[in-house]
Amino acid sequence: MASPGPVSDTRTASASRFSAIGVVAVALVLLLGGVLVSSVSGQLEITADQVVGSILDRWGLTTSLAPQDEVIDATLWVVRFPRIIMAMAVGAALAVGGALMQAIFGNPLAEPGVVGVSSGAALGASIAIVFGIQFAGSGVAAMAFIGGLLATLLVYAVARAGGRTEVVTLLLTGIAINAFAQAGLAFVLFLADTASREQIVFWQLGSLAGSVWSEIVVVVPLLIVGTGVAWVLARQLDVLSLGERNARQLGVDVEGLRIIVIVLVALLTAAAVAFAGIIAFVGLIVPHIVRMALGPAHRSLIVVSVVGGAALMVWADLLTRTLVEGSDLPIGMLTALVGGPFFFALLFQQRKSSGGWL
């Protein structure tokens, strides 16, 4: 009797491709739906036709759908579109950073904050707020970016001091640097006046209010470059998932790969939190869900994480603007309140199906 192996493998590969296409399609529908709903939602009533017409008009395509009211056009291009695009960029950057962290740690519970980038950014932002530091008119964002990047590089430098970087050493060093940054933040809060304390607390809770195009042109290029490099490294990350020893035997420079990935995570996450503040759980939940749906192949994981992270942030930002009339809730608070129980439910479901924790 002939072995059914090749046929079975072909069917499995076809099913896997079909599953990937289905997941991507769902993520794209959620993203496009979120963009449209966010564009028409707000204190000023705008229709979907006017949104489409305004976009076509900016592309040089004259259409009767374009809004005749300049206030509507300005609301879309000055307020809503920059905020939506920033939400997409921040969500995608955090999701890709989370996927990369989970890859190098070999743990689906890893997220960018492990290497100190979020706490470093919070310390940098608080210093800028209290001492009035300015860089090109955006001192808080600049100091947050610098703080997050320096914290991550410090984690790696300390973990590398022994000559070789182990995952456990990185984790423990990250915990120590996070604690140090939190202590520094507490000291800065002690020095701050009441107004500065309120601004620091609000920044830490996260918000996309006031997003402008000049900020987007900083975040989006970093996102594109970071995602592109992650895509190139995807095959090596697949090999690394087999274990460090096997990866070395197959020709992967594990140490060099780890350095590049940590720098990528720092750039992506620091760029995101610099303009949006601390946003929890996006870098943890999105790649985890995508991995559960598609498996561990990192090319598909990275692509779908980009779309999924963008969709999650767009819908989350929409809720912050509409849940309480006349108020703009902190988006970091919302993602933590929703993400915590949701992720616990995922863990509980996986425990039931596998008979144990991850």
Q: Does the residue 185 lie in any domain?
A: yes
pTM of the model: 0.87
Cα–Cα distances in Å, from 157 out to 162, 165, 173, 270?
10, 9, 10, 18
**How would you class 161 by CB atoms within 10 Å of its CB: exposed for 0-12, middle for 13-18, buried for 19 or more?**
exposed
CATH number at residue 239: 1.10.3470.10
The torsion angle over the Cα atoms of residues 269, 271, 274 and 275, rounded to 10 degrees, is -120
Chain centroid to Cα 261, Å, comes to 15
User: 3-state SS of 100-136?
Assistant: HHHHHHCCCCCCHHHHCHHHHHHHHHHHHHHHCCCCC
The structure tokens listed for 139 are 């001192």
Give the number of domains in the chain. 1
Residue found by looking up tokens 């040089």 in the block: 60
Four-residue CA torsion sign, 42, 46, 49, 54: negative
Q: How far apart are CA 217 and CA 214, in angstroms?
A: 5
d(CA 67, CA 190): 50
Residue 8 domain flag: no
Q: Which of 203, 185, 192 is nearest to 274 (CA)?
A: 203
User: What is the overall mean pLDDT for the chain?
Assistant: 84
**Is residue 183 situated within a structural domain?**
yes
Burial class (CB in 10 A: 0-12, 13-18, 19+), 189: middle
Residues 282-331: tens digit of each pLDDT: 988 899 888 888 888 899 899 999 999 999 999 999 999 888 877 788 89
Proportion of the chain above pLDDT 90, given as a percent: 30
Q: How many whole angstroms separate alpha carbon 55 and alpha carbon 61?
A: 9
Burial of residue 245, with CB atoms counted within 10 A of its CB: 0-12 exposed, 13-18 middle, 19 or more buried? exposed
Give residue 187's pLDDT band: very low, low, confident or very high (50, 70, 90).
very high
Is 26 inside a domain boundary?
no
Residue 186 lies in a domain: yes
Cβ neighbours, 10 Å, residue 14: 10
Q: How many of the other CB atoms lie within 10 Å of CB of 329?
A: 20
- How far is the CA of 235 from the CAs of 187, 239, 250, 257, 355, in angstroms? 44, 6, 12, 11, 31
Q: At what angle do helices 48-58 and 5-40 cross, to 10 degrees?
A: 100
The alpha helices in the chain, defined as continuous H runs, are: 5-40, 48-58, 70-74, 81-105, 117-131, 139-159, 167-191, 194-205, 213-232, 234-240, 244-249, 254-276, 282-294, 298-322, 331-354
139-161 pLDDT, tens digit per residue, is 788 888 889 889 888 888 887 76
Note whether residue 310 is domain-resident.
Answer: yes
Inside any domain, residue 148: yes
Query: Which pLDDT score, from 0 to 100, does residue 78 have?
Result: 92
Q: In this structure, is residue 250 part of a structural domain? A: yes
Cβ pair 230, 264 in contact under 8 A: yes
Instruction: Report the distance separating Cα 301 and Cα 237, nearest Å.
Output: 11
Q: Pick the closest to residue 288 from 30, 109, 94 (CA basis).
A: 109
Read off the pLDDT band of 9 (50, 70, 90): very low
What's the pLDDT tens digit per position in 229-260?
Answer: 999 999 999 999 888 888 888 888 888 898 89
Give Cβ neighbours of residue 155 (< 8 Å, ≥ 6 apart): 115, 116, 170, 173, 174, 177, 262
Structural domain boundaries, residue 281: 91-354
Q: What are the C-alpha distances in Å from 242 to residues 16, 80, 170, 250, 273?
A: 20, 44, 19, 10, 32
Q: Is the pLDDT of residue 5 over 80?
A: no
Contact call for residues 3 and 284 (beta carbons, < 8 A): no
Mean pLDDT of 167-177: 83
